[in-house]
Structure 1
Amino acid sequence: MSRISTSMITQRAIDAMLRQQNKVSNTQQQLSTGRRVLAPSDDPASASRVLGLNRALETVQQYQSNINRAQSRLETEEGVLNGVTNLLQRVSELAVQGNNDTLSATDTKAIAAEVRQLLAQLYSMANTQDSNGEYIFAGYQSGTKPFTNPAVGSYVYNGDLGERQLQISPDRQVADGDNGFALFVNVATAAFAQITAVDATDFTAVADGDITIDGGNGNGPVSIGSIPAAADAAERAQQLADAVNAVSERTGVRAAVNDSGLLELNVVGGSGISVALGTDAGPRSGLSAVTTPTTVAVATATTPRNVFETLHQLVTELESDRPVDRYIDDVHLALDSVINTRTSVGGRLNSIDEQHEVNADLELSLESHRSVEEDLDFAEAIARYERQMTALQAAQQSYVRIKGLSLFDYL
């Protein structure tokens, strides 16, 4: 029979109490954190799943952070563009008002003064900063003031052509702004030439009033939707070209039909205009309007102009009491550009709102799955804690009683 020493009995009792204390401590920590899995050793399989869920949650939360950032910048931009729209509409009204022969020089100068104030306001809007102090129209160069005014009538864009893309889902990105070059600098303008009717005897290819080109300063190709003449012969580009060339010495215009079937008109001292017969084209892509039964205004695209310089030139013309027809159309084109950008911004805001809801649902689902894996059942944990405390107290009391025993107690 083996002999059990007093020291061995003591060590075993102490080990039992320590094990029970560790169990009590672990349960106490679970109750304080509300988590069942405190370390991978508690439940290796659950710990691995929780780790993956945490990574997925961090990614979704980053998407939500990107959405919040993009939303803030786009809402700022939307507010600015709303102001720019109202401003350009007012400029358009003033330009039309100023383009009136009945106004005195004093009246047109007063209109010019208001346009000048609106130009200064537009310049300020183009240099708007967001809540973080970043310029919203500078592209990637958000720390650089996008527009400067180094000289009277000169406006320089200092940003770049970039648009920051923020990831808002695994397969979706959204631009958090628009660069100022596309919005304020690369704006189309219009030049005009007149096509007027002459005697029908000069042109037998077109009935009800023939056409010729008596001038024009366009410098780029344009497609005209149709020639406003009620005659089947007008559908034949070659016949129309022959009619134009018949009087080219008087008009300075030569016509030819290219391989694409387009009628090309070339003005001496200027560049060509392309006329497409029988197609559709809006006012901004070629045909602007039929002003009278015998006159057609043809708009041709020219080199894009800085919208600030357009307004500056408008002011100059008004102050000089000169016609501002071309600038009225230029302002309309600039307004169209702003409205198109506003539409794009609105679409992006709607898109990120929808994605925010999708991400929020996904985040809730991931948190629910993580809760199943690691969250504590408090009722079970409290009952277990009470059992462990009872066992610990029993072990402590047993140790005290055993430690106090001696052979002298039995003598």
Structure 2
Amino acid sequence: MRISTQSIYNNATSQLNTLQSALARTQNQLSTNRRILTPADDPVASARALEVSQSKEMNSQFATNRASARSSLAMVEGALQNAGDLLQDMQRLTVNAGNGAMQLQDREALATELEGRLEDLLGVANSTDGAGGFLFSGYMATTQPFTRTPGGAAYQGDQGQRQLQVGASRKIPLSASGAAVFENNPTGNGVFQTQADKANKGAAIISSGAVVDRPLANQGRSYELTFSVTGSPAVTTYTVVDSATGTAVPGHDNQAYEPGKTISFGGLSFDIKGEPADADVFTVEPSKKQSVFNTVTDLIAALRAPSDGSTGKAALTNQLNTALDNLKSAHDNLLTVQASVGAHMKELDYLDSAGDDLDVQYAATLGDLQDLDMVKAISDFSMQQTTLQAAQMSFKTMSGLSLFNYL
């Protein structure tokens, strides 16, 4: 068989190129510490590595989102803390206003101070996040949530809560609705509210009351208690009428009045102290939602109203008791929202810990799929280098052979 010189050179060149390519590939693997340089090296592992890399990037983005969510929630929590301090101060001022030694000018000073607290509370309710968005306006982040009105404040936002994805299957609220924080405050004791009619002429004071039978009290019925003072000496009686039916509550029709004695019906109880006048009326109604701004505005008006004589003092005391109950309810509601914000921030800590663990798992999986076995790669590199050098020497020797050397 005759072999041409061209064939010898072609075969040798092809073999040397193959060995050179293998050596260069191993060099690239060693320099990048990657076993897979192109998807063709291991299609299955490459596809799996792409999926894991995408999951790892998403996990990193979730970590960034959690940092942003924590910052937003910290601002909400700070605003709620300020609002809570203001409500506590308002309750203190309301208690002080009940001091019987106070004169009209003293109550005027308290009313002025409460006006300042009201403006401060309105400012907290209109807090921003530092980027032009309002914390308590729901989805309407660019709309100022509360505007001052003669009766208190009007809410301009909506009921939504802005949320951010902080995990593969978890979204965290970044804000709280201003309506939920400052307006949805149950009046009275949370189930019912007792009030004295503004036209009362006597000096009777009604308590906030308590629930003795919750299922019965939760039926949402309204009642009206009317006093009657007749005879000489005067005999005081009262009648409790169901406002829905207009009929007297059994056992409470023309009952003798005893100051401070508990009055119970419909699953609720309360007491009345002092001396009522003839035709004085007290109402018992289901609790309803009331804005804290309306509560404080009504309180300020009550402090500035004349309160001369026993009738005026009793009216003021009843109004102060109502305001104190409503402020306490508003503070309790705010604490509930604040606890929810705190729970979300605590959850972010747990999600951070879980995210860190996932990051380690993803890195380990990518290492198994992509990382190079350095010992094997160095051994292969040395072998390929030796093989290439031997092939080069062999080709050089063979290409130098000639019959003319033997002639």
State the TM-score, normalizing by the size of structure 1: 0.71
User: Aligned ranges for residues 176-215 of structure 1 at < 5 Å?
Assistant: 176-190=174-188, 191-193=193-195
Give the 3-state SS of the residue equivalent to 2:289 in structure 1: coil
The number of residues matched between the two structures is 351
The separation in 2 between residues aligned to 1:371 and 1:126, in whole angstroms, is 51
The separation in 2 between residues aligned to 1:403 and 1:154, in whole angstroms, is 103
1:329 pairs with 325, 350, 366, which one?
325
Letter in structure 2 aligned against 1:353: D
- Which position in structure 2 is the counterpart of 1:200? none
Seen in structure 2, the aligned counterparts of structure 1 residues 370 and 334 have a Cα distance that, compared at 3 Å, is same
User: Does the aligned pair in 2 maintain the 1:169–1:355 contact within 8 Å?
Assistant: yes
Letter in structure 1 aligned against 2:296: L
Q: Please state how far the C-alpha of 1:339 moved relative to its aligned partner.
A: 0.8
- Which position in structure 2 is the counterpart of 1:202? none
User: Aligned ranges for residues 218-229 of structure 1 at < 5 Å?
Assistant: 224-225=211-212
Letter in structure 2 aligned against 1:188: P
Higher deviation after alignment, 298-307 or 113-122: 298-307
Give the 3-state SS of the residue equivalent to 2:372 in structure 1: coil
- Which position in structure 1 is the counterpart of 2:102? 103
Q: Please state how far the C-alpha of 1:121 moved relative to its aligned partner.
A: 1.8
1:160 pairs with 145, 158, 161, which one?
158
CA RMSD of aligned residues (A): 4.0
User: Does the aligned pair in 2 maintain the 1:256–1:263 contact within 8 Å?
Assistant: no
Q: Percent identity?
A: 30
The separation in 2 between residues aligned to 1:223 and 1:333, in whole angstroms, is 14
Deviations 1:114-136 (A, max 9, x none): 22222222222222233554322
Deviations 1:6-61 (A, max 9, x none): 33322223322322332233223323332212222212232233233224334433
Higher deviation after alignment, 39-48 or 319-328: 319-328
Which stretches in structure 1 are left out of the alignment for 5+ residues? 195-213, 227-234, 236-243, 267-273, 278-285
The separation in 2 between residues aligned to 1:330 and 1:366, in whole angstroms, is 53
- Which position in structure 2 is the counterpart of 1:304? 289
- Which position in structure 1 is the counterpart of 2:77? 78
Question: Is residue 2:300 matched to residue 1:315?
Answer: yes
Seen in structure 2, the aligned counterparts of structure 1 residues 35 and 85 have a Cα distance that, compared at 3 Å, is same
The separation in 2 between residues aligned to 1:246 and 1:311, in whole angstroms, is 30
Give the 3-state SS of the residue equivalent to 2:35 in structure 1: coil
- Which position in structure 2 is the counterpart of 1:379? 375
Higher deviation after alignment, 70-79 or 393-402: 393-402
The separation in 2 between residues aligned to 1:264 and 1:389, in whole angstroms, is 109
The separation in 2 between residues aligned to 1:107 and 1:293, in whole angstroms, is 25
User: Does the aligned pair in 2 maintain the 1:140–1:160 contact within 8 Å?
Assistant: yes
Letter in structure 1 aligned against 2:71: S
User: Does the aligned pair in 2 maintain the 1:255–1:265 contact within 8 Å?
Assistant: no
The separation in 1 between residues aligned to 2:4 and 2:303, in whole angstroms, is 115
Letter in structure 2 aligned against 1:110: A
Give the 3-state SS of the residue equivalent to 2:185 in structure 1: coil
Higher deviation after alignment, 184-193 or 396-405: 396-405
Deviations 1:77-105 (A, max 9, x none): 12221111111101110121123332233
Give the 3-state SS of the residue equivalent to 1:113 in structure 2: helix
Seen in structure 2, the aligned counterparts of structure 1 residues 23 and 114 have a Cα distance that, compared at 3 Å, is farther
State the TM-score, normalizing by the size of structure 2: 0.72
Which stretches in structure 2 are left out of the alignment for 5+ residues? 197-203, 217-224, 231-236, 254-263, 277-281, 308-315
User: Does the aligned pair in 2 maintain the 1:263–1:276 contact within 8 Å?
Assistant: no
Seen in structure 2, the aligned counterparts of structure 1 residues 59 and 146 have a Cα distance that, compared at 3 Å, is same
Q: Please state how far the C-alpha of 1:73 moved relative to its aligned partner.
A: 1.9
- Which position in structure 2 is the counterpart of 1:390? 386
